Chains A and B, each alone.
Chain A
Amino acid sequence: MSTLTSPLRPKRSKLLTGAMVLYLIYTLVPLLWLLLSATKTQDDLLSTPGLWFGKSFAFFSNIKDTLTYNDGIFLRWLGNTVLYVVVGAGGATLLATAAGYGLAKYKFAGRRAVFAVLLGAVAVPGTALAVPTFLMFSNLGLTNTVWAIIIPSLVSPFGLYLMWVYATDAVPHELLEAARIDGAGEVRTFFTVALRLLAPGIVTTLLFAVVSTWNNYFLPLIMLSKPNLYPLTVGLTQWSNQATGVGARPIYNLVITGSLLTIVPLVIAFLLLQRFWQSGLSAGSVK
Chain B
Amino acid sequence: MKVHRRGIRRLVVAGAAVIALAAVAACGGGSSNDSASGGATTGSSDAVDAALKAGGEITYWSWTPSAEAQVKAFMAQYPNVKVNYVNAGTGNDHYTKLQNAIKAGSGAPDVAQIEYQALPQFALPGSLADLNQYGFSQYESAYTASTWAAVHAGSGLYGLPQDSGPMALFYNKEVFDKYGIAVPKTWDEYVAAAKKLHAANPKAYITNDSGDAGFTTSMIWQAGGQPFKTDGKNISINLADDGSKKWTGTWNNLVEGGLVSQIPGWTDEWFKALGDGTIATLPTGAWMPGVMESSVKAGAGKWRVAPMPTYDGQPATAENGGSTESVLKQSKNPALAAAFVRWLNHDEGVKPFLASGGFPATTADLKDSAFVDKASAYFGGQKINQVLTAAAGNVVKGWSYLPYELYANSIYGDTVGKAYQSKSDLNAGLKSWQDALVTYGNQQGFQVNP
Contacts and interface: CB of A to CB of B under 8 A. Distances in A.
Interface residues of A, number: 31
Given A46-B298, A248-B266, 6 more contacts: A45-B268, A47-B275, A134-B104, A237-B93, A238-B90, A246-B358
A131 B103 CA distance: 11
A249 B93 contact: no
Contacts of B276: 47
A222 B93 CA distance: 8
A84 interface: no
B285 A246 contact: yes
A72 B253 CA distance: 49
B24 interface: no
A225 B86 contact: yes
Interface string B410-424: 000000000000000
B295 interface: yes
- B interface bracket (residues with beta carbon within 8 Å of A): 35 or more
A153 interface: no
Given A135-B103, A241-B89, A246 B163 contact: yes
A252 B296 CA distance: 13
15 contacts: A131-B100, A138-B104, A138-B106, A225-B61, A225-B86, A227-B88, A241-B89, A241-B90, A244-B90, A245-B90, A245-B321, A246-B291, A246-B322, A248-B295, A250-B271
Contacts of B126: none
Nearest to A250: B295
A225 B101 contact: yes
Interface in A140-190: 141, 143-144
The interface residues of chain A, by DSSP majority, are classed as helix
B63 A47 contact: no
B357 interface: yes
Nearest to B271: A46
Interface in A220-240: 221-222, 225-227, 237-238
Interface string B54-94: 00000001011100000000000000000000111111010
Q: Which of B63, B105, B358 has the most chain A CB atoms inside 10 A of its CB?
A: B63
A134 B295 CA distance: 37
B104 A247 contact: no
Interface of B: 61, 63-65, 86-91, 93, 96-97, 100-101, 103-107, 163, 165, 266, 268, 271-272, 275-276, 285, 287, 290-291, 294-295, 297-298, 321-323, 356-358
Nearest to B275: A46
Given A47-B276, A250-B271, A245 B107 contact: no
A38 to B, nearest CB: 14
Interface string A119-136: 000000000000100110
Contact of B290 (A45, A131, A237, A247): A247
A47 B298 contact: yes
Q: Which of A43, A246, A247, A248 has the most chain B CB atoms inside 10 A of its CB?
A: A246
A238 B89 CA distance: 6
Interface of A: 42-43, 45-47, 131, 134-135, 138-139, 141, 143-144, 221-222, 225-227, 237-238, 241-250, 252
B195 to A, nearest CB: 28
A70 to B, nearest CB: 9
B295 A249 contact: yes
Contact of B100 (A42, A222, A243, A249): A222
Nearest to B298: A47
Contacts of B295: 42, 243, 248-250
Nearest to B88: A225
Contact of B287 (A43, A143, A247, A252): A247
Contact of B268 (A238, A249, A252): A252
Nearest to B85: A227
B96 A222 contact: yes
B294 A249 contact: yes
A251 B295 CA distance: 9
Given A46-B268, A248-B295, A250-B295, A242 B322 contact: no
A80 B321 CA distance: 34
Contacts of B297: 43
A141 B298 CA distance: 49
A222 B103 CA distance: 12
A10 B208 CA distance: 54
Nearest to B109: A225
A36 B294 CA distance: 23
Contacts of A249: 65, 294-295
Contacts of A138: 100-101, 104-107
A218 to B, nearest CB: 10
Contact of B63 (A225, A242, A252): A242
A42 B165 CA distance: 26
Given A222-B96, A225-B97, A247-B65, A242 B104 contact: no
Contacts of A227: 86-88
A272 to B, nearest CB: 34
A110 to B, nearest CB: 34
